[in-house]
Structure 1
Amino acid sequence: MILKHRTESDELKITNFLEPRMNFSEKEKQRHYSLRKGYEGEVRYDAWMTGLEIENLTLNDLLFEMGGPFTKLILLSSCRIPFISNVKHYEGDYYYEVRAS
C-alpha cells in the first residue's frame, strides 16, 4: 500500500512547462533531462513495487539531509523491517547480490 504517492517536483513541473517555450542553455537542458529521467525511473520503480505480492507500506519522496545535500529516498516497511531505497534510473541491467558474511 502506498501511503505517500509520488508527484513531479516543482522544478520538473516548471522546466516541463518552460522547455518548449524557451531555449535552455546546455546546463539547463542537462538538468531538465536528469530530472525527467529520474522521475521516469521512480514511476517505473513504483509500478514494479505495486506488482509485488508482498504486504508493505510505501512512503515516497522522503527528503533526508545526510551531511550534505538532500537525498530523496523511499521507505518501505514490510514484516516490521524498514527498507530504505534510493532509486537511480541508469541505463542497462543491474541487480542486487547478497554476500555471505
Structure 2
Amino acid sequence: MITRQKSNELKVYEYLRVRKPFSKQEKRKFVKLKRGYEGELLFDTFIEELPCDFLSLNDLWLTHHNKCFQIDNALLVNNIFYMYEVKNYPGVYYYEKDKLFLALY
C-alpha cells in the first residue's frame, strides 16, 4: 500500500513553524492542515481493515469545466465507486434522523 504524503502546504508550514512565530491566522491554518492530514491517516487505517478486495486512491485530483478539485479518498468496492472527503473536527458527534450533531456536554 502506498503511504499518504503530506501536502506541500503542510510541509511549508512545518518548516516555517520552527523558524518564526505564527500569527493567529497562520497558527489556525497550520492546525487545520495538520489535523486534516492526521484524520486522513486515521481514515486510511479504517480502509485497510475492510474484509473485501478494493482499490483505494488517495488525494485524487480531477478537473471539471476547467476547475481542479481534490478527493481525499476514492474507493472502488464490488464495482461501486465511493468518494470520501475526510474531516477531523474536535469533539463528539452523533447522527440522529439523518443529520450530524455536535454533542454539547
TM superposition score category, shorter chain reference? 0.7 to 0.9
**C-alpha RMSD of the superposition:** 2.5
Q: Percent identity?
A: 33
For residue 77 of structure 1, what is the aligned residue in structure 2? Answer: 76
Structure 2: runs of 5 or more not aligned: 99-105
For residue 12 of structure 1, what is the aligned residue in structure 2? Answer: 10
* Alpha-carbon separation, structure 2, partners of 1:55 and 1:97: 31
* Alpha-carbon separation, structure 2, partners of 1:59 and 1:53: 17
For residue 31 of structure 2, what is the aligned residue in structure 1? Answer: 33
User: Which structure carries more relative contact order (alpha carbon 8 Å, separation 6+)?
Assistant: 1
Distance change (3 Å), C-alpha of 1:49 and 1:71: same
Distance change (3 Å), C-alpha of 1:17 and 1:37: same
Which segments of structure 1 move beyond 3 Å, counting only runs of 4 or more?
A: 64-72, 93-98
Indicate the structure with greater strand content.
Answer: 2
* Alpha-carbon separation, structure 1, partners of 2:70 and 2:48: 23
* Alpha-carbon separation, structure 2, partners of 1:56 and 1:95: 27
How many pairs are equivalent? 96
Residue 49 of structure 1, CA deviation: 0.9
Instruction: Note if contact 1:73-1:86 (Cα within 8 Å) is conserved in structure 2.
Output: yes
* Alpha-carbon separation, structure 1, partners of 2:95 and 2:77: 20
Instruction: Note if contact 1:63-1:70 (Cα within 8 Å) is conserved in structure 2.
Output: yes
For residue 87 of structure 2, what is the aligned residue in structure 1? Answer: 88
TM-score, normalized by length of structure 1?
0.79
